[in-house]
Structure 1
Amino acid sequence: MEYMLLVHTDPKTFAGFTPEQQAEGLAAYGAYADAMQKAGVMRGGNRLRPADMSTTVRIRDGKAQVLNGPYADTREQLGGYFIIDVPNLDTALSWASRCPGASHGTMEVRPIWGMGEA
């Protein structure tokens, strides 16, 4: 079953790291992704640009409203994701707990619901 591991972090945390700490953090994510690749569970993943670079679109009264920046002002923001294919939720939770983001943010684990599935 496929799961999406959503990494929610406070962008100020990473920005407050020294260059050495930032390099260590990126290396930790690289090692994590490599471990998932070697285990054969990783299907994809990427970092996301900061939320202040996002654009929000919604339809109200039949008209599109386009807003720059995040819709909600929250401390933790979606910073990246991984898509994994594992046998069950327990295995997905195990991978989520190994993510470097779990130590300084929040990991959301969501089963992927295929478009053709009931």
Structure 2
Amino acid sequence: MQFMCLIYNAEDNGPQPGTEEFGPYMQGYMDFTEEVREAGKLLGGEALQSVSTATTVSVRGGKTEVVDGPFAETKEQLGGFYILDCKDLDEALAYAAKIPDAAYGRVEVRPVMIFD
């Protein structure tokens, strides 16, 4: 089964670039990515640019509306994702708990709907 791990955190929460803690924090991401790659679980994943670069598009009544910023006005924002191929939800949750931002924000785990 495929699962998407959506990584949410406030941009100013957790280790920040230029701090002593940032190097080990990023190393945690490199280590996790290597672990799921070597285990044959990694199907994809990327970090996202700052929420300040987001643009939201909606269409209502045939009219397209474009708004600067993210869809949700919340402190925690989507910062990246992994798509993992796991045997079940329990395995996906175990991997999600190893994502470094699970210690600072949240990781939402959702099954991917596969259309054949």
The TM-score with structure 2 as length reference comes to: 0.93
Distance 1:113 1:105, change over 3 A: same
Label 1:15 to 1:52 Cα distance change in 2 as closer, same or farther (>3 A): farther
Q: Which runs of 5+ in 1 are unaligned?
A: none
Alignment correspondent of 1:7: 7
Give, in whole Å, the separation in 1 of the partners of 2:23 and 2:77. 21
Aligned to 1:19, the other structure's residue is in SS state: coil
RMSD: 1.4
Q: CA deviation at 1:101?
A: 1.0
Please state if 1:81 is matched with 2:81: yes
Distance in 1, matches of 2:72 and 2:43, equals 29
Correspondence for 1:21: 21
- Once the 2 structures are TM-superposed, how far is the Cα of residue 15 of structure 1 from its aligned partner? 6.7
The alignment of Structure 1 onto Structure 2 pairs a total of residues equal to 116
Following the alignment from structure 1 to structure 2, what is the Cα–Cα distance between the partners of residues 23 and 99? 15
Q: Which residue of 2 aligns with 1:59?
A: 59
Offset at 1:72?
A: 2.3
Q: Distance in 2 between matches of 1:91 and 1:48?
A: 25
Q: Percent identity among equivalent residues?
A: 34
**Residue number in structure 1 paired with 2:111:** 111
Secondary structure of the structure 2 residue equivalent to 1:37: helix
2:30 aligns with 30
Higher fraction of helix? 1
